Every structure is written in C-alpha cells, then in structure tokens.
Amino acid sequence: MFDLHNRLAKFPRRALANYPTPLEPMPHLAAPTGSAIWIKRDDGIGPAMGGNKARKLEFLMADAVQRGARKVVTFGGLQSNHARMTAAVARQIGIEPHIFYFAKRPREMTGNLLLNAILDAKMHFIPFGGAGRNDLQFTNRLVRLLARMIVGNAYFIPVGGHTALGCLGYVIGAAEIHAQVQSLGLREVTIVTAVGTGGTLAGLLAGFALLDSPVRVLGIDIGKLWTNCPADIARLAGEICAMLGDRRAFTARAVPIIEDRYCGDVYGVPSPAGNAALRRVAECEGIFLDPIYTGKAMAGLLDLIAQGKFARDANVIFLHTGGSPGLFAFPEIIGRG
C-alpha cells in the first residue's frame, strides 16, 4: 500500500484537534429516505468553534511558524469560517491575524465577524466586490498586493486555505474515513461535501486515489465561487499527489462535482432549500449545520437521495465541515425556507 503516513510526516504539522473525528449514523434523517445516511463530524475540530479549516491550518500555520512569520493575512466572504479559524489559530501561536474582505464594513458585527472582533483580528474592508472577477489566482494576487501595502511582511494564506500544502489535511481526512469505513464494514460508500473553494474536495479526491480506496466522493457547489472550478480542483488534486511523490493527473471531467444546482441565488446568502435542510437536520438529529455551506450541500444530498441517485444499499456520508457561527448572522433562517 502507498506509504501515506511516512510521506505526510515530512511536512511540519501543528496539531489542532484530536483525530479521528466521529462517524455517526443519522437514523431519524435517514428513515423516510430508505438510505443509510452518516455524518462525519469535522464541524467540532480546532479552536474557536472549529470546522474543516482546522485540517488545512495544521499544515499552513506550521509553515508560517517555520518561516518565522509575525503576521498572517487571509481573506474571504463576510461570514468566512476560514477567516475566523485563521484568526483564532494565529492568536493561539502568537502571530497577528489580518483579514481582507471585499465588502463594506457591516453596521453590525454578527456571526463570524463578531468572533473575529473578539479575537481582535485586524479586519480590512475594501468595498469593490472581489474586483469584479471570479478568478481565484487573480484575487489571490490582488490581496497579496494590498496586504503588502497595508500590512507589510506577512505569511499569506489564500482564501479557504486553498493550497496543495493546506489540502494535505484532507488527504489525512480521506485516510481517516477510509479506515473508519473499513472497520465498520460499510459498502457502496459515497462521501458528500460542500464545495466552496474546492480544496476539501481536492484533498479527499487525492487521498482516496492514493489509497486506492473504494470510497467515492461527491462535491456539491454552494456558491459558484470561481470560473473553471472543476479544472482548478483537478489541478490541485494533481499537485497534492505530486507533493506526496505520486505523479498522477486528474481531469476536470473526472472531478465529481454538481455545480450551480444547489447554490441558491449567490454565494454567502442563505437559500430557502438550504434553510429547510438545516432545520430538518436539527429537528431530526439535534445537529446544527450552517446556512452558507453545509445547509446548501445537505439540501443537495437530500434532493439527490429523493431522486434515487444512490443505490438502495448505498451508505452516504455527509461531511460536516462546520460553520455554525454563521447561523447567528441570519435570524431569517427560521422565518423562511
């Protein structure tokens, strides 16, 4: 078998959580659907209310420390969980967090913004709508430039921790899921994840491929963040494998992602279907999803199950990537949907 453990051990890593995260059944949610639905609890990992970014930040922040960084810069949407977790980990290791937003400073600090303020993260609001381009590389270059002018020397983390180094965290996630599935003897397994920047999906794809695992993965796009998203995820998955010494290529066509269908109107704004799905999971299982990522992805998953897209004996695992602080920014969740 591919010696993932030793290859990963070459990269500095700062542990932020205890692994493996639980894999739990969701019997009440599953009952009316006739499918077996599980949930992988990556929502609770890491500091400051946790989430999937903990796995990426373990590698990125270890790199920042190794390079002697005194400040860290990242950016995201107003309710970015990545920004909140980056700020928290930066505080934990004693470096100054700076966050850029392409939006006006909101009148009220709610949800993740409130938590950033409590962490005394330095927030920079630049109201020109992501420079009007859905181009990941362009936006990264722009923030780097702005950060150099405004913040000075700092360790830069792209939106969502979207780098091959950060995504090694989800190669470990894939190995963890593979082992849990094996020990439970589950067959016909598909793990479903929300896709924001796509790094989580890329890490899982690379990890399952390297392990030659029968576990399939499916990404549900929650926001049309970038043009050419599948091509970018394919490139990133290839880069992740290359970092681990494996030369394999992924094609955009082979990236398992459903684009557009479950995004709602726009990234960062809850959708009625997502709100309904998150309320259903709370009512059935006592688990909070979030309105921007996991609620929309769950709406997609429940719709796909209702359409009969999974085999009857399938085991579907929903990856809970976190984000519940976002709930406190959208009280309308209980009024609509």
Ligand X SMILES: Cc1ncc(COP(=O)(O)O)c(C=O)c1O
CA distances to 167, 286, 334 from 24, rounded to whole Å, are 24, 13, 26
- Min. distance of Cβ 259 from ligand X in angstroms? 13
CB 252 within 8 A of CB 231: yes
Would you give the DSSP letter of residue 297? H
Query: Number of C-alpha atoms within 13 angstroms, CB side, residue 67?
Result: 14
Sheet holding 189-195, edge to edge: 23-25, 36-41, 315-320, 189-195, 216-221, 257-258
Nearest to 64 by CA among 18, 28, 20, 14: 14
Is 80 a known active-site residue? yes
**What are the E-state strand segments in the chain?**
23-25, 36-41, 71-75, 96-101, 122-125, 155-156, 189-195, 216-221, 257-258, 315-320
322 binds ligand X (CB under 6 A): yes
Q: Both tokens of residue 191?
A: 């793990």
Residue 122 bridge partners (DSSP):
98
Q: Whose Cβ is closer to ligand X: residue 176's or residue 290's?
A: 290
331 to each of 3, 64, 103, 291, how far by Cα in Å?
Answer: 47, 37, 21, 10
Check residue 46 for interaction with ligand X (CB under 6 A). no
**Active-site entry in 35, 80, 271, 324:** 80
* Residue 111 in the binding site for ligand X (CB under 6 A): no
Q: Does 82 bind ligand X (CB under 6 A)?
A: yes
Report the residue from 4, 29, 39, 195 that binds ligand X according to the rule CB under 6 A: 195
264 binds ligand X (CB under 6 A): no
Q: How far is the CB of 319 from ligand X (least distance, A)?
A: 8
Report the distance separating Cα 259 and Cα 263, nearest Å: 8
Residue 290 touches ligand X, criterion: CB under 6 A? yes
Residue 3 vs 265, nearer CB to ligand X: 265
**Which range touches ligand X (CB under 6 A), out of 133-141, 194-202, 249-257, 272-280?**
194-202
Instruction: Give yes or no for residue 112 binding ligand X (CB under 6 A).
Output: no
Site string for ligand X, 215-244 (x = CB under 6 A): ------------------------------
Q: Does 271 sit near ligand X (CB under 6 A)?
A: no
- Determine the interface stretch with ligand X among 172-180, 188-196, 271-279, 280-288 (rule: CB under 6 A): 188-196
Shortest distance (Å) from residue 162 CB to ligand X: 6
Interacting positions 302-321 with ligand X (CB under 6 A): 321
Number of chain residues interacting with ligand X (CB under 6 A) = 19
CA distance 191 to 319: 7
By CB under 6 A, tell whether 51 contacts ligand X.
yes
Q: How far apart are CA 170 and CA 233, in angstroms?
A: 13
Beta carbon of residue 223, minimum distance to ligand X (angstroms, whole number):
9
Residue 270 interacting with ligand X (CB under 6 A): no
Write out the catalytic residue numbers. Answer: 80
Task: Enumerate binding residues for ligand X (CB under 6 A).
Answer: 51-52, 81-82, 160, 194-201, 290, 293-294, 321-323
